[in-house]
Amino acid sequence: MYSTTDFKKGLRIEMEGTPFEIVEFQHFKPGKGGAMVRTKLRNILTGRMQDNTFRSGEKVERPDMEVREMQFLYRDGTDLIFMDLTTYEQMPIKAETTGGKAGYLKDSQMVQVLMYNGAPIDLELPVSLVFEIKETEPAIKGDTVSNVTKPATLETGLVVQVPIFINTGDKIKVDTRNGSYLNRE
């Protein structure tokens, strides 16, 4: 069991048999009564967001989850197909339940897959990954010291904002938590 004092961003809890991830939380004390915790939760099974308020000290369940290392194989429509390297079993995960993490997956990439009651439901990616730029507007000579950005399409199809000196074919490091450009490789 978790108490509201254990809440932090990224903590996974279970309410009414459904696993949630805490996206945001804020402790507050109204004028009358006890302290409360206002949270924004992401339903891990569906990806939908919801707001919830807990009384200070309230307890919530700890979900039955485990993390397994798996290999991303390919996309099949809206499903992402992963292979468990110990059993060689292939498991699909709906792309919309990953909260936008599907755009960071490359074929044969190793990822941490979150299992809930034995079924894969979410992904845990490294903080940053390196991608090749497949398409962007050409750079203009002399545009090197500026904070102006332009859209660039990565090899996975994801579009991120990059500085204007980045060209097609360059390799860049991207922060997987918010999709921001970190540096050129």
- Token reading at 110: 């190793």
Q: What pLDDT score does 148 carry?
A: 80
Q: What pLDDT score does 73 carry?
A: 92
Q: Domain 2-60: which CATH class?
A: mainly beta
Are the C-beta atoms of residues 181 and 164 closer than 8 Å to each other?
no
- Distance of alpha carbon 117 from alpha carbon 97, whole angstroms: 16
Residues of the chain under the 70 pLDDT cut: 140-146
In this chain, the answer to whether the domains covering 2-60 and 65-124 adopt an identical fold is no
Q: What pLDDT score does 4 carry?
A: 85
Q: What pLDDT score does 131 carry?
A: 92
Q: DSSP per residue over 76-142, as a string?
A: ETTEEEEEETTT--EEEEEGGGGTTGGGG--TT-EEEEEEETTEEEEEE--SEEEEEEEEEPPP-TT
Q: What pLDDT score does 121 carry?
A: 79
Q: What pLDDT score does 141 carry?
A: 65
Q: What pLDDT score does 142 carry?
A: 61
128-184 has which CATH code?
A: 2.40.50.140
Q: What pLDDT score does 143 carry?
A: 58
Q: What pLDDT score does 10 carry?
A: 83
Domain segments of the chain as ranges: 2-60, 65-124, 128-184
Q: 0.75 exceeded by the pTM?
A: no
Which CATH architecture describes the domain 65-124?
Answer: Beta Barrel (2.40)
